[in-house]
Amino acid sequence: MALLEKQEIDSALAGDLSEWSREGDSIVRSVQASSFLEGIELVRRVGEAAEASDHHPDIDIRWRTVTFRLSTHSEGGITDKDVVMAGTIDKLV
């Protein structure tokens, strides 16, 4: 899988992934859940989708704030897999 060019990443972030930002070799989004348990439930739903697609985000949970970080580690940066998973996460939010 090829790494995306800067222009391709910028285009995705300016379009459908407007809630995401680029941090180095990753794209990142934080979500404020209504409660701690709702945040855990969101992580569970994302976990199911990640297993189904065999592409797993790094997830950080801090009380009601859940942060998702996507990068294709085997490729050393951002690929189409990350863009697709970000879209899936957006739908689950």
Query: pLDDT by residue for the chain (93 residues), tens digit each?
Result: 899 999 999 999 999 999 999 999 999 999 999 999 999 999 999 999 999 999 999 999 999 999 999 999 999 999 999 999 999 999 999
Distance CA(89)–CA(78), nearest Å, equals 16
pTM of the model: 0.95
CATH 3.30.1360.20, domain 6-92, yes or no: yes
CA dist list (Å): 30 to 1, 27, 44: 26, 11, 16
